[in-house]
């Protein structure tokens, strides 16, 4: 096989990936959990579980429930906190050849800045992904990402405190995702990733209580893929910065839909729970597809619709 | 811990809604310890999406393992229709199993309904004469015929809610009667079953200062501790506010959990 015949590398502004397949935040732990099944060096990148300034315990259980072709989760952004991440998790990740992208979030705009500042100058981090779908405690718990102005403020605060490429992860729980996308682009974001989970709920009809202790959660899995794909399609046409697509990608064919819609890379989330090696299967599938279609470089496929 | 396609050696109905399935996997059989579990993909499409967790119920001559499951939803209904020779994707063995008692140490096994599955593997492994195995069911028709699982001559004390077989009443009452008398060596209780039963077992053992390990059930997505979906509150305020059933369990020492929140 001629390696040149299937160049899977992609460029997303300042970020270069050896292939367009990234493991999505919150579905791949801190990488190590999956290393028994997946040679992480082969991935385009790993996006670690969302990090906040202080450790967070997360929501009471039940935290997950399966729904048709998908699942709802209300983990509550449980994580070990910035200091523990830098001490306990990052040294292992720094040895990986895959891009390590650190997903961050805050409860206030200042906290976003503080987490970004804590990662400044740290080696072995290729980019920061900013989760703006979490509740803003200064605004009664409304998610930052539902307001274009607040989304832009968060983006500016992270950029001001960071020396790394900044990817902003957009919430789909908005009337017009293009408005948030363009506001975040204007604020200086280097790239966008979308979509985060869609808000939903499920009810236990016998007990007449919500199936999640948190009442609502984020819907993911193949159930959301068509919604995600159309949002990616729209955002790609509304902004000039690179877009990373995600939402229910289960195999390389799903991944190709997002690439053809204009995403320059994709993230695999919920599928990791089901098939531990799915990221590698997708990379192999993309390579085979390029060979079969006589495409020398995967970038030739991007945005061809 | 592996993820592999395994062949069904048999999948047979053992009560009206309970099935015993044997799957071929020398790898999983070699690694499996009592209390550990596997996650099985019930289908080939995307619905139901997630793997289902099942306690390993026994290993068979190192070429395969058994699971015992009750048909409770779509996943298990699909599995119940699978036939000999069909292939299922299995991930396992997963989690932390029971800390097995030392030889000569008395073990009391308390099972409720389908919760008997990991305790069958336990009994198969230790083959200890100092083992008392008690199992509770709603009615005689639900009793799992464990002689079909190849447990040898371990005797099981049965309790049924309606008294159709064995003691009429709860299996926890059988446990209490065993703990009533004076004993030379403090036994350890190993239990798995529905939550109300487990909570009663926990109260009985904590009140008497008797060590107890329980196997918990939870909805799970990844099985590796990565998604943090199967959280259970720990009794420690400082260390770790939540444990994860898939990785820190499914077997827990009762002292380590906050039973008021469970």
CA of A241 to nearest chain B CA: how many angstroms apart?
Answer: 30
What domains can be seen in chain A, in order of their start residue? 3-59+75-199+219-300 (3.20.20.70)
Q: Which residue has the tokens 């904590």?
A: B206
- For the segment(s) B98-215, the CATH number from 3.40.50.80, 3.40.630.20, 3.30.450.20, 3.40.50.720 is 3.40.50.80
The pLDDT tens digits of the residues spanning B42-79 come to 987 899 999 999 999 999 877 999 999 999 999 999 99
pLDDT of B166 above 60: yes
Query: Domain residue spans in chain B?
Result: 2-94, 98-215, 218-262
What average pLDDT does this structure show over A12-17?
A: 96
Which of A136-145, A161-170, B38-47 tops mean pLDDT?
Answer: A161-170
Looking at chain B from residue 43 to 72, which residues have their Cβ under 8 Å from any Cβ of chain A?
46-51
* Residue A300 token pair: 């030739």
Cα B227 from Cα A3, distance rounded (Å) = 35
What average pLDDT does this structure show over B97-119?
A: 93
Taking CA atoms, what residue in B is nearest to A277?
B3
Contact A69 B46 (CB under 8 A): yes
CA of A40 to nearest chain B CA: how many angstroms apart?
Answer: 15
Looking at chain B from residue 17 to 46, which residues have their Cβ under 8 Å from any Cβ of chain A?
41, 46
Q: At B105, is the pLDDT very low, low, confident or very high (cuts 50, 70, 90)?
A: confident
The CATH superfamily assigned to B2-94 is Translation factors (2.40.30.10)
Mean pLDDT of chain A: 95
The pLDDT tens digits of the residues spanning A40-56 come to 999 999 999 999 999 99
**Mutation target vs B (from A36, A273, A276, A277; most B CBs, 10 A cutoff):** A273
| 3-class DSSP string for chain B | CEEEEEEEEEEEECCCCEEEEEEECHHHHHHCCCCCEEEEECCCCCCCCCCEEEEEEEEECCCEEEEEEECCCHHHHHHHCCCCCCEEEEEEEECECCCCCCCCCCEEEEEEHHHHHHHHHHHHHHCCCCEEEEEEECCHHHCCCHHHHCCCCCCEEEEECCCCCCEECCHHHHHHHHHHCCCCCCCEEEEECCHHHHHHHHHHHHHHCCCEEEECCCCCCCCCCCCCCCEEEECCCCCCCEEECCCCCEEEEHHHECHHHC
What average pLDDT does this structure show over B233-243?
A: 85
Contact A66 B224 (CB under 8 A): no
Cα A242 from Cα A230, distance rounded (Å) = 16
Q: How many CB pairs under 8 A join A and B?
A: 95
Contact A276 B3 (CB under 8 A): yes
* Rounded-to-10 torsion of CA B249, B255, B259, B262: -10
Q: At A1, is the pLDDT very low, low, confident or very high (cuts 50, 70, 90)?
A: very low
Interface ipTM above 0.90: yes
| pTM across the whole model | 0.94
Q: At B128, is the pLDDT very low, low, confident or very high (cuts 50, 70, 90)?
A: low
Contact A75 B228 (CB under 8 A): yes
Tell me the chain A residues in contact with residue B232 when contact means C-beta distances shorter than 8 Å.
61
SS3 of residue A36 by DSSP: coil
Q: Give the CATH number of domain B218-262.
A: 2.10.240
**Is the CB of residue B226 less than 8 Å away from at least one CB of chain A?**
yes
Closest CA to A20 of A181, A252, A223, A230: A252
């Amino acid at each position: 096989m001629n390696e040149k015949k299937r160049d899977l590398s992609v460029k997303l502004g300042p970020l270069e990936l050896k292939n367009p397949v990234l493991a999505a935040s919150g579905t791949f732990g801190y990488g190590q959990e999956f290393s028994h099944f997946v040679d992480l060096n082969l991935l385009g990148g790993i996006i670690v579980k969302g990090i906040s300034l202080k450790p967070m315990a997360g929501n009471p259980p039940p935290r997950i429930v399966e729904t048709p072709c998908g699942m709802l989760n209300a983990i509550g952004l449980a994580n070990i906190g910035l200091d523990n991440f830098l001490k306990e998790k990052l040294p292992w990740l720094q040895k990986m050849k895959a891009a390590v992208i650190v997903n961050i979030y805050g409860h206030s705009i200042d906290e976003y800045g503080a987490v970004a500042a804590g990662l400044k100058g740290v080696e072995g981090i290729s980019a920061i992904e900013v989760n703006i779908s979490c509740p803003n405690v200064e605004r009664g718990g409304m998610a930052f990402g539902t307001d274009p102005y607040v989304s832009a403020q968060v983006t500016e605060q992270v950029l001001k405190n960071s020396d790394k490429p900044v990817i902003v992860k957009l919430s789909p729980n908005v009337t017009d995702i293009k408005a948030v996308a363009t506001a975040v682009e204007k604020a200086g974001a280097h790239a966008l990733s979308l979509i985060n989970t869609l808000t939903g709920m499920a009810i236990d009809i016998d007990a007449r209580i919500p199936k999640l202790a948190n009442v609502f959660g984020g819907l993911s899995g193949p159930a959301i893929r068509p919604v995600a794909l159309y949002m990616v399609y729209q955002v790609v046409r509304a902004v000039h910065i690179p877009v990373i697509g995600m939402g229910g990608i289960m195999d390389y064919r799903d991944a190709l839909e997002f690439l053809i819609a204009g995403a320059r890379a994709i993230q695999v989330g919920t599928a990791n729970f089901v098939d531990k090696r799915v990221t590698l299967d997708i990379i192999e599938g993309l390579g085979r597809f390029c060979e079969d279609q006589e495409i020398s470089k995967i970038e030739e496929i991007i945005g061809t619709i | 811990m592996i993820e592999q396609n395994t062949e069904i050696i048999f999948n047979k109905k053992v009560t009206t809604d309970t099935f015993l399935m044997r799957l071929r996997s020398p790898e999983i059989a070699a690694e499996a310890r009592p209390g550990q579990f596997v996650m099985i993909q019930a289908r080939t499409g995307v619905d139901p999406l997630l793997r289902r967790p099942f306690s390993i119920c026994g290993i068979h001559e190192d070429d395969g393992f058994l699971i015992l499951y009750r048909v409770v939803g779509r996943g298990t209904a699909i599995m119940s229709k699978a036939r000999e020779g069909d292939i299922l994707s299995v991930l396992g063995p997963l989690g932390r199993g029971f800390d097995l008692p030392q030889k000569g140490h008395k073990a009391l096994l308390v099972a409720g309904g389908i919760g008997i599955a990991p305790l069958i593997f336990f009994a198969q492994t230790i083959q200890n004469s100092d083992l008392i195995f008690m199992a509770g069911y709603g009615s005689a028709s639900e009793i799992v015929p464990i002689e079909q699982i190849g447990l040898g001559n371990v005797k099981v004390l049965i309790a049924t809610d309606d008294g159709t077989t064995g003691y009429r009443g709860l299996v926890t009452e059988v446990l209490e009667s065993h703990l009533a008398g004076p004993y030379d060596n403090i036994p350890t209780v190993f239990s798995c079953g529905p939550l109300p039963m487990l909570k009663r077992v926990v109260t009985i053992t904590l009140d008497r200062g008797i060590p107890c390990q329980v196997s918990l059930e939870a909805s799970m997505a990844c099985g590796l501790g990565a998604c943090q979906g199967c959280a259970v509150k720990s009794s420690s305020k400082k260390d770790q506010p939540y444990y994860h059933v898939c990785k820190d369990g499914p077997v827990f020492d009762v002292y380590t959990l906050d039973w008021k929140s469970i």
